[in-house]
């Protein structure tokens, strides 16, 4: 029902934009960005060779390493500890209004000459929430009972995710505002796409590595089989 509702909203809003939004034919671009795929990649290569852009790309590719494990693994560990997946999915519903409102609020602070101020101010709070998520995973089996989990546990999870969304969107909106601000208007689309791609990659590769490292870094013990080890997936299944 949740997916059906937002799918319908997406179709309606997209159709309304197609029908009601008119292009301004009087305005013509002063300069064509590129003439083809080859020119586009040449342009991207020339942009990324600039010292400031190269430094920024290196920073943004490594900025999210500190909280990648908390972001990628927390939900999976909560499910592993017995929290029903459908309950976690339901917690995403109250996050939707927050996700709509947050960019509107945060954009007021990123509209100035230094949008990255919001980015680095939010970073320590997001790192602290990573520790809070670790505590949440540790605490989960201790509050579990036969009927499931108490209401106050879900309240704590919801509050944790809400605070996490605030820090996440603060960093996301700030980096988008910065990318828009520094992109050359003549090649704005190409320039901004490059920076946004690097920004997305900076969030995705640490999460992939974190997920890959979960099994090697997890300590498992076998109950009822003294000579059996559970160090590998195959051994654990045996």
Can you read off the two tokens belonging to residue 170?
A: 């603060």
CA distances to 80, 132, 204, 217 from 213, in Å: 16, 20, 14, 6
d(CA 47, CA 45) in angstroms, rounded, equals: 5
Alpha-carbon torsion (168, 171, 177, 179), positive or negative: negative
Q: Tell me: the pLDDT tens digits for 55-104? A: 999 999 999 999 999 999 999 999 988 889 888 888 888 888 888 898 88
Phi first, then psi, for residue 148 (nearest 5°) are: 125, -130
Is residue 166 a contact partner of residue 129, using CB atoms and an 8 Å limit?
Answer: no
Q: Tell me: the pLDDT tens digits for 12-22? A: 999 999 999 88
Closest C-alpha among 153, 134, 155 to residue 145: 153
Cα 208 to its chain centre, rounded Å, is 12
Can you read off the two tokens belonging to residue 171?
A: 């960093």
Closest C-alpha among 169, 215, 233, 214 to residue 69: 214
Residues of the chain with pLDDT under 50: none
Residues in the chain: 238
| pTM of the predicted structure, to 2 decimals | 0.76
Q: Which residue ranges make up each domain of the chain?
A: 40-214
């Amino acid at each position: 029902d949740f997916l059906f509702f937002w799918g319908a909203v997406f179709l309606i809003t997209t159709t309304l934009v197609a029908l009601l939004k008119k292009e301004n034919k009087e305005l013509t671009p002063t300069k064509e960005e590129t003439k083809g795929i080859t020119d586009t990649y040449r342009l991207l290569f020339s942009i990324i060779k600039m010292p400031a852009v190269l430094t920024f790309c290196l920073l943004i590719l490594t900025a999210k390493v500190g909280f990648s494990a908390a972001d990628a693994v927390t939900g999976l560990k909560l499910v592993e500890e017995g929290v029903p997946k459908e309950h976690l999915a339901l917690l995403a519903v109250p996050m939707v209004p927050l996700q709509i409102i947050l960019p509107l609020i945060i954009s007021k602070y990123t509209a100035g000459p230094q949008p990255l101020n919001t980015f680095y101010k939010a970073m320590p709070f997001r790192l602290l929430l990573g520790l809070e998520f670790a505590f949440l995973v540790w605490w989960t089996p201790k509050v579990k009972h036969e009927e499931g989990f108490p209401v106050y546990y879900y309240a704590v999870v919801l509050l944790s995710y809400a605070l996490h969304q605030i820090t996440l969107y603060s960093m996301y909106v700030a980096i988008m505002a910065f990318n828009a601000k520094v992109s050359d208007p003549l090649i704005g689309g190409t320039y901004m796409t490059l920076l946004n791609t690097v920004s997305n990659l900076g969030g995705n590769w640490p999460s992939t590595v974190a997920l890959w490292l979960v099994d090697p870094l997890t300590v498992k013990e076998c109950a009822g089989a003294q000579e059996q080890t559970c160090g590998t997936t195959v051994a654990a299944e045996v």
